[in-house]
Chains A and B, each alone.
Chain A
């Protein structure tokens, strides 16, 4: 089954304790992206990757790191989490559209993170 998986689905942690949220897709997609979703602010992009070893900042990259060593994986790293990073996080992937831009986005189920 074609899918994007994220782990963990739920995480409660404390300020300053490094954590990694994993994202994996089995569709051979070049493009992968991380978003956070907050009430009243909608979905905001954190980082995205056009291909292996190619990553770039989105709208809200502060406090986050990413890496793309393999095509299928795109982990999100919070080196020193703070309470303002409490949010619902989504990973997404897609192919590039033949006419330019991004094709249909496939989203993971989300990771609900609480930082105390």
Chain B
């Protein structure tokens, strides 16, 4: 059974800092990995999707990498802003289902 772990569970940084969020998974037989953002009390918003054949994907200040063989993905956020404060979740797609990590709660302090 696929298990997804996100470390750290919470992270607090000053504005402007570059940061990395980590996601690891136990079964490397995946189709893709997806990163989401969740604001308090709200639904999830998709940030990036990396296909299993890709190494990285970029969108604005966000860069996600994938190392399928080692079961790891990272989400790099450049020049963090207070508006980036949210919970970030990764999810691996093993076919017809997604398995989610518990998320990293990020706080960016002005």
Interface residues of A (CB under 8 A from B): 4, 31, 33, 35, 40-43, 45, 48, 50, 56, 58, 90, 92, 97, 99-110, 112
Contact = CB atoms under 8 A, between A and B. Distances in A.
Interface of B: 30-32, 34, 36, 41-46, 49, 51-53, 89, 91, 93-98, 100-103
**Chain A interface secondary structure, helix, strand, loop or mixed?**
strand
A109 B34 CA distance: 18
A45 B98 contact: yes
B54 to A, nearest CB: 10
A31 B93 CA distance: 13
B43 A99 contact: no
B95 A108 contact: no
B101 A42 contact: yes
A90 B42 CA distance: 10
A97 B100 CA distance: 18
Nearest to B92: A101
Given A56-B96, A101-B95, A105-B46, 15 more contacts: A33-B97, A42-B89, A42-B100, A43-B91, A45-B98, A48-B96, A48-B97, A90-B43, A90-B44, A92-B44, A97-B51, A101-B96, A102-B98, A105-B36, A106-B46
Q: Which 5 residue pairs of A and B lie closest in terms of their CB atoms, listed nearest first? A: A101-B31, A42-B102, A107-B43, A43-B100, A101-B93
Nearest to A31: B96
B27 to A, nearest CB: 13
B75 to A, nearest CB: 15
